[in-house]
Amino acid sequence: MHAFRSAVEAGDLDAVAALLAEDVVFTSPVVFKPYTGKAITAAILRAVSQVFEDFRYVREFGASDSPDHALVFTARVGGRELTGCDFLHVNEEGLIDDLMVMVRPLSGAHALAEAMGARFEQIAEEAQAGS
């Protein structure tokens, strides 16, 4: 099991942040432009952990020695069920330098965008404090 999955499932967001490279690129399922940097990515992940209900990983793809992993999950947001996938790439130091999230269906993506948008100011403040 990938360390990221273990940390997320344990709700250990400090451990999640520790797995991120300083220059990690986070591609959101609901925002056009990727975010770059550990502080903003960690802040987004903290916020999404508050937004997702009944989150659980249901599948994992990628050999333990591979730099690429895919973690399929299910969750609810505002009464909408969604399925998603975290695509991870780890660098030579074993830190995540690329994290792309995709979700479906569109109604779930809309609910996620709305819930995260309502937290954007909090996310920005946390990212600034973490820089």
pLDDT at 39 over 70: yes
Q: Count up the domains in the chain and report the number.
A: 1
Question: Angle of helix 106-117 relative to helix 38-51, nearest 10 degrees?
Answer: 110
Domain that residue 12 falls in: 1-125
d(CA 119, CA 123) in angstroms, rounded, equals: 6
Residue 47 maps to a domain: yes
CA nearest to 74, candidates 61, 59, 94, 89: 59
**Local structure of residue 119 (DSSP, 8 states):** T
Residue 131 maps to a domain: no
54-63, 67-76, 112-121: lowest mean pLDDT where?
Answer: 112-121
Residue 130 maps to a domain: no
Residue 10 maps to a domain: yes
* pLDDT recorded at residue 41: 96
35-39, 108-112, 126-130: lowest mean pLDDT where?
Answer: 126-130
d(CA 14, CA 1) in angstroms, rounded, equals: 18
Q: What is the CATH number of the domain that holds 106?
A: 3.10.450.50
| Whether pTM exceeds 0.85 | yes
